[in-house]
Amino acid sequence: MEIIIQSDSQAGDAVAARMIAGLIRRKPDAVLGLATGSTPLGLYRELVRMHREEGLDFSRVTTFNLDEYIGLAPDHPQSYRRFMFENLFNHINSPVERIHIPDGMTDDVPAFCEAYEQAIRDAGGIDLQVLGIGTDGHVGFNEPSSSLASRTRIKTLTRQTLSDNARFFENPDEQPHHVITMGIGTIMESRQVVMLAFGANKAEAVSRTVEGPVCAMMPASVLQFHSKAHLILDDASAAGLAKADYYRWVYANKPDWQRH
């Protein structure tokens, strides 16, 4: 894994946006895997800026989102479909037919999940997957104990994740307990992974992901096995890393052609 420590989230977002923009400029029909939640908001704002000010073209880009709540209509304020359109797709030239987001209202979850996996394969696989990380180390909604070979499927949220996300729901009774999520095996097949983690509350999960053992109880730790994973951190989320100074030194001394 490449560990990239920046002073704050804004600087980290800029690094991630340059990676994505570089891919799209090299491969205009790139396939992106996208995440939701508060962590990637700054990244999406920067991509929108690049589209408006630098002409970054999304017209041939295909996207697949990681997850969606089961039982939330697409227009629900907390649906991830609505989140993605409000924060990214409404502001760039991404064709609707190239946008894929799990259907939380499907009548046949297993069949939908199989079809979603097939759609990813039909698109040629994901070139770059954007990830966040939960305070318990989950990626997507692959909670602790998730199989490291799992595929897109239904998952039951843990109490920790429900607690972390409760702030988004005015009425606790509206908060779903089940989701559709890409599996860890699906994520690991992405050709490149960019994980964002900002804030002191992510420091323990980050340290266990980077410097701890690989185990299903810390799902993000599987990225130690990915051939091209980049973890973009701020100083606060990197505070628990024993080798933080080493990671900073390595990144600062990369050759120019490797810089992001």
Q: Are strands 99-100 and 62-65 parallel, antiparallel or unpaired?
A: parallel
> In sequence order, which ranges of 2-62 are alpha helices (DSSP H)?
9-26, 41-54
Rounded Cα–Cα distance for residues 5 and 7 (Å): 7
Catalytic annotation, pick one of 13, 46, 67, 127: 67
Eight-state DSSP code of residue 200: G
Catalytic annotation, pick one of 76, 138, 226, 230: 138
* Rg of the Cα atoms in the chain: 17
Give the other-Cβ count within 10 Å of 130's Cβ: 26
Which residue type sits at 57?
Answer: D
Catalytic annotation, pick one of 68, 127, 136, 234: 136
Which residue type sits at 97?
Answer: E
Kind and range of the H or E element at 68?
strand 67-69
Cβ-count burial of 53 within 10 angstroms (0-12 exposed, 13-18 middle, 19+ buried)?
Answer: exposed
Catalytic annotation, pick one of 103, 143, 226, 234: 143
State both tokens at 45: 């704002």
Q: Is 138 a catalytic residue?
A: yes
80-87 vs 41-54: helix crossing angle, rounded to 10: 40
Q: Is 117 a catalytic residue?
A: no
Active site residues per annotation: 67, 136, 138, 143
